[in-house]
Structure 1
Amino acid sequence: MTEPLRTLYNALVVPMARLALPIGRRASEKIERGVEAREDLMARWQAAAAEIAGRAPRVWVHASSAGETLQARPIVEAVRDAKPDAGIVYSFFSPSAERYVRDWEAPDAVDYLPFDVRSRVRRLLDLLRPDALVLVGAELWPNLVWEATDRGVRVGQACCRFGKAPGRLRWPMRSVTTDLYGRLAAVGVVAEEDRSVALELGVDGAAVAVTGDTRADVTLARVEAARTDPPPWRPPAGRGPVIVAGSTWPADEAALLPALARLREDHPELLAVVAPHEPSGPALERLERLAEKQGLWTVRLSALESGPGGRGRGAPSIVIVDRVGVLYRLYELADAALVGGGFGGSVHNTMEPAAWGVPVAVGPDHGAPHEVEAMRGSGGVAVVQSSRALAEVWGRWLASGTAGRDAGRAARETLEGLAGATGRTLEFLRNRSVPV
């Protein structure tokens, strides 16, 4: 079955994607950055291959974007600790991962994965000659898996979450997905429901195990390390309670801003910190206009970081986070949080506020990730259907300090119960003869 699928993929899907790329470059700064960053990519990988020549084992870890890179980091670092002489390379696909790999010392080389064109994939495999390939997250690039397994590379997957009714389980992608999973030596999944999907795809029962999500490990460690350093900014004395809304999209903000306006009726000193998922100029300006319509005065974080905290014409109602990389520290300030994406199909990282012991609200279209369902069951996460419901949930948490603290403690304890995935993942991969 593999050969017809390969022929179809390389004769139809890959050329169509290449034709669409110029359009994507004009429409998206992220796509443009991804294309530009791949200039001279193979020359960079050739230099990386020279760095690991003669090392053993040679381990290649790949993840797609920022979230998956957070999952991959503890795996790579644990492999380095266990095998200091190994040659380790790390690849990623999306520009969003760049800030998480900058100055990362555990791998010998870090760079973009080439686009999934057969000739480029073959060239990279010729250069790196990996003994193991570990794919972190749910992303499988067909040519990469086909070509690696053809060469006898032991390919494993870690932190795999299928989600609900993913498109790759439907025709025509199901045939490709089934073929690819049949080639993997090990499939480490996040939860039992993911294991059921893997078995449905025909993965041998011995080749799939529930190993968990390594984000729990890295998030808890990150927060503990940050406790000794001050956050990038603190509210002025006397302001509060504090709401932090992180990784928001327009659909989230449409529910968020009226909820904040309603909540301020009972909490006049309420301060909100809002971090758009993509803080581009147009996104920030749009958020400022919407807030003004609700009678909420905004100020950007960059204007406060070097100042006293902004009294001026009366302290701001909302601090808008206009740069990336600081959100997880700002959750430290929160009495309650909203994590964005839940009003648009897939919630973002609820583990970060939970690690700080902050109770979390998410929208109804959160995608049911395992950690959200677990924290929802313990009372640490509340699913809200509307702006009014969001204000009511926050109101309950803020009206009684005990209620908010109890919910935050439940979120933290649930997250601690999910920890240990890094060790479980590596043990499973090794038991399946993936040399990590």
Structure 2
Amino acid sequence: MLFIYNLGIQFYWIIITISQAFNIKAKTWLKGRKNLFQKIKQDVNSEKEHIWFHFASLGEFEQGRPVIEKIKSDYPDYPVVITFFSPSGYELRKNYSLADHVFYLPLDTKRNARQFVEIINPKLAIFTKYEYWYHFFTELDRRNIPLIVISAIFRKEQLFFKWYGSLHRSMLRKVSRLFVQDAASISMLENIGIMHATIGGDTRFDRVAANAEQPKDFQLVRSFCDSANIFVGGSTWPDDENLISKVIAQFENWKFIIAPHEIKPDKLKAFESLLPDKSYVRYSDLKNDGLSSANKMLRVLIIDNIGMLSSLYQYGQIAYIGGGFGVGIHNTLEAAAFGLPVIFGPNYKRFLEAKMLISEKAAFSIKNEEELLEVMTKLQDSEFRKGRGSAAKRLVSENTGATEAIFTYLNERVFN
């Protein structure tokens, strides 16, 4: 199985190399790893012990962020190294102020793992949710370096639970402690002999709760909103935007803030083509024109940059989260933390927090235009809307504390 794994790693490298000719993300992925070890050796003092955080991408970073913040608060003498697998995480967080070093993760080979771990000299390694890399885990285990996985969640279709998943099961045995999100994950792990898992919850609840307490304020957005009811569309894709355009047409007494997942010019123009003339404005144009642009004719504010969304929900009464007609919904908890009822498409079953929101009647899953308009009609009742929003906010509040659970373990087992 290890031979197949190694072959798969090399095959992935070949595919990425070929893809760079026509895929900008693949090109960025390769460019970021060019002369990577030379850069790491220049930047890192190997004589110091570091705390190493690894994230697949931006979403996982946000899950791990509360733990980084507490590490820097409680143990400021340990420099923090962050690695990302994906360019979408690295490019947006390469200048993160609480990290002493941010790098791409080298390809998972035995040689790379040994070289990387030797250079950064970790006191502790923390991986988040889905990231399992055989050679890095093996090298950490060989050196007796504590490795924890936080906010993990497991499903029966994963390789760990297949008859041919022995290699992946061996990765789990190299982890010092698995902090999982739910009891179902504990049960599945115990069935394959993994007994060192603890229900620690999801650190995203801590992150979004903290964000809702101190969101960034955007004066131009506030001016656009004025006193209207606001529908916030977060991380929307074309299928979502097509449906939202129907809502915009029918609910003329609402204003809309839409933050598309992709902000390429052609994607923005495609969405704008669905909207009535002179009804919309891009945030960059609103900024350039000043507050005078926020007149009553403008009903749709299109956010054409990255980094604002998590604070935009403070201006809303209803949130629509994109991705549910594709690979899966994006972050529902950011909106829920502000007390907004949440709407999303049908592909949400892999997301525990979405199922929790549905269970608490704080969220609505829709399959088509008719269902979306029906939900919007129900949410016109302010008392009903506030009740669903209160349920969303309560769910977030009741599920905070994952960071503290992790640190109880770290204080006893790592930093004692």
Q: TM-score, normalised by structure 1?
A: 0.87
From the superposition, tell whether residues 417 and 296 of structure 1 become closer, same or farther in structure 2 (CA, over 3 Å): farther
Task: Tell me, in whole angstroms, the C-alpha distance in 1 between the residues paired with 2:198 and 2:118.
Answer: 31
Is residue 122 of structure 2 the alignment partner of residue 130 of structure 1? yes
Match of 1:376 in 2: 358
Match of 2:253 in 1: 269
Distance 2:344 2:156 in 1: 17
Rounded to whole Å, the distance in 2 between the matches of 1:244 and 1:111 is: 33
**Is the contact between residue 53 and residue 82 of structure 2 (CA under 8 Å) also seen in structure 1?**
yes
Alpha-carbon displacement from aligned partner over 1:351-379 (angstroms, at most 9, x marks no partner): 11111111111111113422222222222
Residue 384 of structure 2 corresponds to 403
Q: How does 1:147-296 map to 2 (within 5 A)?
A: 147-163=139-155, 165-166=157-158, 169-170=161-162, 172=164, 174-204=165-195, 207-226=196-215, 229-231=217-219, 233-236=221-224, 240-262=228-250, 264=251, 268-291=252-275
Distance, in Å, in 2 between the alignment partners of 1:308 and 1:345 is: 38
Structure 1 406/148 Cα, relative in aligned 2: closer, same or farther at 3 Å? same
Change in CA separation of 1:165 and 1:254 when aligned onto 2, cut-off 3 Å: farther
Unaligned runs of 5+ in 2: none
Q: How much has 1:322 moved relative to structure 2?
A: 0.9
CA distance in 2, matches of 1:217, 1:104: 19
User: Could you tell me the percent identity over the aligned residues?
Assistant: 26
Match of 1:29 in 2: 24
Residues in 2 aligned to 1:370 and 1:406: alpha-carbon distance in whole angstroms: 22
Question: Over residues 191-224 of structure 1, what are the superposed CA-to-partner deviations in whole Å (9 max), with x where a residue is unaligned?
Answer: 22222232234312xx101101111112111221
Structure 2: how far apart are the matches of 1:237 and 1:271? 7
**Equivalent-residue separation in structure 2 for 1:285 and 1:169 (angstroms):** 45
Task: Give the Cα separation in 1 of the matches to 2:373 and 2:122.
Answer: 52
Instruction: State the one-letter code of the partner of 1:15.
Output: Q
The CA deviation at 1:160 is 0.7
Secondary structure at the aligned position of 1:157 is classed as strand
Change (3 A) 1:36 1:381: same
Per-residue Cα deviation, 1:372-409 (whole angstroms, up to 9, x for no partner): 222222222122222211122122112x2111111111
Return the alpha-carbon distance in structure 2 between the equivalents of residues 317 and 167 of structure 1. 47
Distance 1:383 1:214, change over 3 A: same
The 3 A distance-change label for structure 1 pair 221 and 167 is same
Distance in 1, Cα, partners of 2:350 & 2:225: 38
**Alpha-carbon separation, structure 2, partners of 1:237 and 1:411:** 22
CA shift, 1:236, in A, is: 3.9
Distance 1:222 1:237, change over 3 A: closer
1:359 counterpart residue number: 341
Cα distance change on mapping 1:163 and 1:318 into 2, 3 Å: farther
Work out which of the residue numbers 310, 335, 344 in structure 1 matches 2:293: 310
- Whichever residue aligns with residue 318 of structure 1, its letter is V
For each residue in 1:276-310, what CA deviation from the matched residue of structure 2 results, as whole angstroms up to 9, or x when unmatched? 11212222122122335xx8943212111232263
CA deviation digits over 1:309-365, x for unaligned, max 9?
A: 6367x7234222111101122211111010111222421111111111111111111
What CA distance in whole angstroms lies between the structure 1 residues aligned with 2:158 and 2:227? Answer: 44
Distance 1:335 1:136 in 2: 31
C-alpha contact (below 8 Å) 1:234/1:309 kept by paired residues:
no
Residue 155 of structure 1 contacts residue 434 of structure 1 at CA under 8 Å; is this kept in 2?
no
| TM-score when normalising by structure 2 | 0.91
2:59 aligned residue = 67
Q: Supply the RMSD in Å over aligned alpha carbons.
A: 2.5
Alpha carbons 2:220, 2:291 under 8 Å: kept: no
Q: Higher relative contact order by CA 8 Å / sep ≥ 6: 1 or 2? A: 1
In the comparison of the two structures, how many residue pairs are matched? 415
